[in-house]
Amino acid sequence: MEALREIQKSFGAIFTQSLEVPLSFGNDPLAFEAAQSGVALCDRSHWGILAITGEDRLRFLHNQSTNDIQTLQPGQGCETVFVTATARTIDLAIVYATDQVLLTLVSPHRRQLLLQGLDKYIFPMDRVALQDYSSDYAVFTLLGKHSSQLLEKLGVQLESVSESLSKGDHQLVTLKNWVIRLAVGTGLALEGYTIFAETKDAAAIWDYLVSQGATATGEQVWEQLRIHQGGPNQTRNSPKIIIP
């Protein structure tokens, strides 16, 4: 990911010692507006990616979280909540089903807790395996009303899983020379898409999307948007926020 950090620095990224992704690009008011009415690009690579495989994966995750995971078909996804035995919320996560794996995007600083907690409930007869894919992929989010237009301009278009695209629908697509997993939804109540890219391609993809018109956006603006919408705090140590 070092190459990605260098590319982001070239676009004015400001980092802090406690944050693995850019806090700001020195353009917060512009980025805040782009996320709502244009196209903003936010790095969410500090979020965790848990992979659940095996024939019992749907039943297992269905039993460990609150949504109806068992009905997910390959190419579909949904939000779900992990809770404690006393129904206290651990994390709000997003699950993406493929032919062989459930990719689960979890909040920063919740990855180890969930890995340990889920592993505790895998019994010898369960046909389930749990892996951490967090270091294998970068996660980017395109935010804003013009996100679809930007992707169409770049020759990328999702095919609907059913009659129309729904939040959480996802598939492998080609962006220029890279194969990425593109999912509908942003993790916020804003239009856009979530991108999963191999770590080795992350720097080039970030550079390409910004060069094609996406506004580089830091964690501070993400937090501004979350607070603006009244969303849950999914980071342990949120950066200081100044609402524009």
User: Residue 237 gets which letter from DSSP?
Assistant: S
Which among 87, 117, 132 is the end of a domain?
A: 132
Do 146 and 205 belong to one domain?
yes
What domain range is 75 assigned to?
A: 48-132
Look up residue 223 and give its two tokens. Answer: 């937090």
* Residues 6+ away with beta carbon under 8 Å from 120: none
Whether residue 8 lies inside any domain: the answer is: yes
Is residue 122 assigned to a domain?
yes
32, 60: one domain? no
- The verdict on 35 and 53 lying in the same domain is no
* Predicted structure pTM score: 0.91
Asked if 159 and 121 sit in the same domain, the reply is: no
Provide the domain count of the chain.
2
3-state secondary structure of 192: strand
pLDDT per residue as tens, the chain (244 positions): 899 999 999 999 999 888 889 999 999 999 999 999 999 999 999 999 999 999 999 999 999 999 999 999 999 999 999 998 888 999 999 999 999 999 999 998 899 999 999 999 999 999 999 999 999 999 999 999 999 999 999 999 888 766 678 999 999 999 999 999 999 999 999 999 999 999 999 999 999 999 999 999 999 999 999 998 765 665 554 444 333 3
